[in-house]
Amino acid sequence: MRIGILFLFFLSTSSFAQSYKLAVGSNITSYVFTNSAGSNPTFLRPASGLHFALSRESSISKVFLLDFGIQYNQFNNVGDVQNIPISYSTDFIGLQGGVGPRLKLGNGITLTTKLNASVSKLVNGNQFLLNQYIDLSGDDQFNSLRTMLGYSFELSKQVNPQVGVFVKYQYSDTYNFGNSTLNFIPSTFSLGLSLSK
């Protein structure tokens, strides 16, 4: 398994076309919290946060693409409990990879769908409650390593042989299970620029 992954990575860096991609956008994140009673509180609502990603994308065949890169995400949320406002502001940095087919639509336009996996770590986080800020770095539900799985759709346009632009939608979920868990479910909308070698 590891040898196969290393082989694909080697091919992507040496034998096929490569591009470097920069994306900026917004995460609309839902928190799904399951408490010890097995219920999900309804007082939390999605909130927006910044998304930034830098990645390298490589062709591993005439149809399939592989990408790997670094990303910064804000997974935020708001709500109120008995008219008392509550909010969560978090910053995560991590790595993401994806693989999927590319469909050429003509006139330099392509549609790419991918399955994605990422791992992220909290670098800063605060909860605002009762007019005070609570540091989330000591909360295991936030500061543990977060693994996310999901999918994405990307529509791109090649401006010239070296430069392209794209719009992208990505859905992710942490898929944590148990009696008392917190799942982040961001929907990410982004715009980006690609530079080909």
What are the extents of the domains in the chain? 2-196
Contacts of 1 (CB under 8 A, 6+ apart): none
108 SS3 class: coil
Rounded mean pLDDT for each run of 10 residues along the chain, 197 residues in total: 47 64 97 72 87 96 94 94 89 97 92 97 93 90 93 95 95 83 94 92
Fold held by 2-196: Porin (2.40.160)
**What pLDDT does residue 80 have?**
86
Cα 180 from Cα 98, distance rounded (Å): 30
131, with CB counted inside 10 A (0-12, 13-18, 19+), is exposed
pLDDT for position 43: 79
C-alpha pair distances (Å), 108 with each of 12, 53, 166, 194 = 22, 23, 11, 13
Predicted structure pTM score: 0.85
What number of other Cβ atoms are within 10 A of residue 133's Cβ?
11
